[in-house]
Amino acid sequence: MQRVIHFAMAGLVAALAGFTFVEPASAQSANPAAVIQERQELMKNLFPAFRPVRDEVQAGQTPDLDAMATAARRYADLTKKIVTLFPAGTGREVNPDTRAKPEIWSQRAEFEATAKTLADEAEKLAVVAATKNIDAILAQVGPTGQACGGCHGGPATSGGKFRFEKM
């Protein structure tokens, strides 16, 4: 009963905050195709979530600090889900078109450490963006971007340690 109340309260808080509480597909089912689809959607949304922060920094004008804070929080929240969307059995053995390299599973500790670094740097960005201190935001954008490249080292079409090049 307490667990039901806890989840109900969490759902209510999330709804009031403008978000929907959705358990990752990896936790919802053992359907590898659903996990891969959710993973691909998350990965497609990572850079668009970060882009408003980067664009505001690069614009060289007075930034929209509220937009930066919102974008940084969304980005940080997305990065926290990455590791959960790469369970065993969701690689090329199931979907030959996935860009997830086998090293994600064969070098799991390194992958998880890389993903944690990204999540940690993204959280730091969200925290400083919430303060609306532009100097702190500027100082954190670089480390966050570098951590993002930890898996692939470049733009979406690039390959890297944990991602195949886009065909």
Domains of the chain: 26-148 (1.20.120.10)
**Hey, what are 69's tokens?**
């804070």
Q: Predicted confidence band at 127 (pLDDT cuts at 50, 70, 90)? A: very high
Q: What pLDDT score was predicted for residue 126?
A: 97
Please, how many CA atoms are within 13 Å of residue 86, restricted to the half-sphere of its CB? 24
Helix (H, G, I), strand (E, B) or coil at 159: coil
**Rounded average pLDDT over 33-39:** 94
Q: For residues 127 and 144, is the Cβ–Cβ distance under 8 A? A: no
**pTM (predicted TM-score):** 0.77
What phi, psi does 65 have (nearest 5°)?
A: -65, -30
**Alpha-carbon gap, residue 26 to 41, rounded angstroms:** 13
pLDDT given for residue 119 in this prediction? 97
Distances, alpha carbon 144 to alpha carbons 8, 96, 98, 129, in Å? 33, 30, 25, 12
| CA distance linking residue 64 with residue 72, whole number of Å | 12
Average pLDDT over every residue of 39-60: 87
Instruction: Tell me what the mean pLDDT of segment 8-26 comes to.
Output: 36
Q: Say if residue 95 is exposed, middle or buried (CB neighbours under 10 Å; 0-12, 13-18, 19+).
A: middle
